[in-house]
Structure 1
Amino acid sequence: MTVIVPIDGAKASVKESGAAAAAGTRERVGVLLVNLGTPDTADTRGVRVYLKEFLSDPRVIENQGLVWKLALNGVILRTRPARKARDYLKIWNTENNESPLKTITRAQSEKLAAAIADHDHVVVDWAMRYGNPSIRSRIDALTAQGCDRLLVVPLYPQYSAATSATVCDEVFAVLRTMRAQPTLRVSPPYYDDPNYIEALAVSINAHLATLPFVPELIVASFHGMPQKYIDKGDPYQSQCVATTDALRQRMGLDAGKLLLTFQSRFGFDQWLKPYTDKTIEQLAKDGVRRIAVVTPGFSADCLETLEEIAQENAEIFKHHGGEQFAAIPCLNDSEPGMDVIRQLVLRELQGWL
């Protein structure tokens, strides 16, 4: 779905456009890549600041009532940050003193800018929904560079209210404070886009070719979500199923060779099943000795892929009898991954270029 918000004051826009044309200048188009977010530092304080912003979003935790606030401030933010900080330290980019998600998203932005450099009036930037650089700061930077049109690209292949929608919420909140709003487009999810499915298959096969073993099956692990969110109408689960079905068809695998699971449970509610950790544990108990795990719901490697899957779930598998475990990287800023983003952006910019 494309969302279009007109600039404030059609007459003013026409006059400004005419003035720009008379002066021989061109209005610019901004492209803003947005991913979920990351702490600024891999310590307890940095993680606490990040978690407070993340878990205070009613799109993420829908019931923000008194009980939740007491639990968040009285228990979760007192205990969880130290544990998560230790997890972040396991994967932290110490050279740049930042998380891999920030490193990769910056690289995606830079490579996209280079790939569409022939459109010299397009400015590419990137932001995080939670943490830094903030959406507000980057929209301000783009408009300061003369961007009167803005394409926001949530880097989530599958839509959910807790990811794509909250990006829109924040963008709209920023625009609400602006008198001269840029015209806005928001790119749609690309869960069944042929380019995306092809890139996944190419990336998976290339990685499998480098392994010293042949996996007996592949687990496709997506980020989880409370079941009640789906029951209220969130399309996320159906889009994860569609991605997996398309990938199975492209790779010639049946449901027994490419499993669909959901990871990263939090709290006590029932989440989408089957659970990744429980599935991997059961596979090992059932005698499966070699598996690979791919995470098609993530456009860039992050804590959930590099630590939760590649470390925690690998340990679960081996602890219960598994022998060889491979975590297949996300598309990241690889050539196939960048081709997906480039084609998505160029498609959504039609009429503006």
Structure 2
Amino acid sequence: MMLPNGHPPVPPRRVGVLLVNLGTPDAPDTGAVRRYLGEFLSDRRVVELPALLWQPILRGIILRTRPAKSAHAYSQVWTEDGSPLAAITKRQAVALQAAWPQVMVDWAMRYGNPSIPAKLKAMKDAGCERILIAPLYPQYCGATTATVVDKAFETLAAMRWQPALRTLPPYHDDPRYIAALAESVRMQLAALDFEPDAVLASFHGMPQRTLDLGDPYHCHCRKTARLLGEALGRDLIVTFQSRFGRAKWLEPATDTVLGELPDKGMRKVAIVAPGFSADCLETLEELAIRGREDFIAAGGTHFAYLSCLNDSAAGIAMLRSIVASELAGWADLT
């Protein structure tokens, strides 16, 4: 129905929540991975090098060699519903939507599809005048949380009628997050047929210069691991994975530590990835597959990867609670 002035009617006012995670290619093939990596690695917050220096390297070398290898890795973890990260993030959004019919809940990827601009436009068109952007990164980093917020406000800059935005703060030390993690880890450790000699907490790596420049990510990771270890009543070995390029990265490296543990008498290992809100390529392929292979090849005998919170009951309860806190004054979720 059109109004007398020829314009469509303004939809009723609504509140929206947009869950956002890192991103994924549209398919586990070389072309899709090349498009995804081209967008991801062109973000100036991800690779903090001058474009005139970086883009020839990216276009002339990396995007010619890396996509085929990454596509093979994605093919090992791809599901009927697409990439694990997209499938799980969608399920998380569906679970929150089911709990809150009075709020519009949707999901997006920072890189790839569905995009932040497309989802924000759809939410505004549906009447959402207040939207909470929820980057699903427990630990803050300029290359993750900040770039989500950048993209959201970049999108608003092109809108005449902008919705009001809030952003979900990092929740690395939130008691609700730590409690959910501890519950998940306890349950998974109890289900193992062996007692680990060591439990690793592996976080995604970042270049050392991010710490030197004042990014809080390293400190957030360390605090998460300390609090989780206290909740579990055991020490965790903190490591950092996914090194890329020749620059110095945060240490110790996960693959290096896995290769050294058997020689130190620790041949039974469990590994958890507290920096990921959903299982993805970096957890399912890099840790659960390649990490296991590296550890066994180094002399390990038992290896277990402990899954992320994903859309588990504990994980969804935690998300509901922290997101509801940020919606205070906007929506009655009681």
TM score, norm. by length of structure 2: 0.95
Aligned structure 1 segments of 4 or more residues deviating by more than 3 angstroms: none
Report the alpha carbon displacement of residue 253 of structure 1 after superposing the two structures with TM: 1.2
Q: Deviations over 1:256-293 (max 9, x none)?
A: xx110100000000000011100111102222110100
Unaligned stretches of 5+ in structure 1? 1-18
Over residues 34-59 of structure 1, what are the superposed CA-to-partner deviations in whole Å (9 max), with x where a residue is unaligned?
Answer: 00000001000000000000000000
Q: Which residue of 1 aligns with 2:255?
A: 277
2:13 to 27, 48, 51: 27
The answer (yes or no) to whether the contact 1:56–1:64 under 8 Å persists in 2 is no
Q: Deviation digits for residues 196-240 of structure 1, max 9, x if unmatched? A: 000001000111111111111100000000001110110000000
For 1:202 and 1:43, locate their aligned partners in 2 and report how far apart those are by CA, in whole Å: 37
Q: Secondary structure at the match of 1:128?
A: strand
Aligned-residue RMSD, C-alpha:
1.2
Aligned with 1:74 (options 45, 55, 60): 60
Aligned to 1:344: 322
Instruction: State which of 34, 55, 76 in structure 2 corresponds to 1:48.
Output: 34
Q: Contact 1:31/1:124 (CA < 8 Å) preserved in 2? A: yes
> Alpha-carbon deviation of 1:180?
0.7
Deviation at 1:65, TM superposition (A): 2.8
- Aligned partners of 1:29 and 1:134: how far apart in 2? 19
| Alpha-carbon distance between aligned partners in 1 of 2:90 and 2:193, rounded to the nearest angstrom | 32
Cross-structure match for 1:214: 195
Amino acid at match of 1:260: V
Sequence identity (%)? 54
Q: What is residue 230 of structure 1 aligned with on the other side?
A: 211
Q: Does 2:99 match 1:92?
A: no
> C-alpha separation between the residues in 1 aligned to 2:210 and 2:323?
29
Aligned to 1:333: 311
Amino acid aligned to 1:144: D
Partner Cα separation in structure 1 for residue 162 and residue 325 of structure 2: 23
Residue 155 of structure 1, aligned match among 136, 145, 158: 136
2:290 pairs with one of 294, 301, 312:
312
Q: Which runs of 5+ in 2 are unaligned?
A: 1-8
Q: Which letter does structure 1 place at the counterpart of 2:127?
A: G
| CA displacement at 1:350 relative to structure 2 | 0.2
Q: Does 1:191 align with 2:172?
A: yes
Aligned length: 323
Deviation of 1:344 after TM superposition, in Å, equals 1.0
Shift of 1:66: 2.2
The residue correspondences of 1:93-242 to structure 2 (distance < 5 A) are 93=79, 95-96=80-81, 98-117=82-101, 120=102, 122-242=103-223
- Tell me the distance in 1 between the aligned counterparts of 2:185 and 2:264: 25
2:46 to 32, 41, 60: 60
TM-score for the superposition, normalised by structure 1:
0.90
Of the candidates 242, 246, 249, which is equivalent to residue 227 of structure 2? 246
Q: What is the CA–CA distance in structure 2 between the aligned matches of 1:71 and 1:128, rounded to whole Å?
A: 25
Residues in 2 aligned to 1:172 and 1:331: alpha-carbon distance in whole angstroms? 29
**Amino acid aligned to 2:266:** V
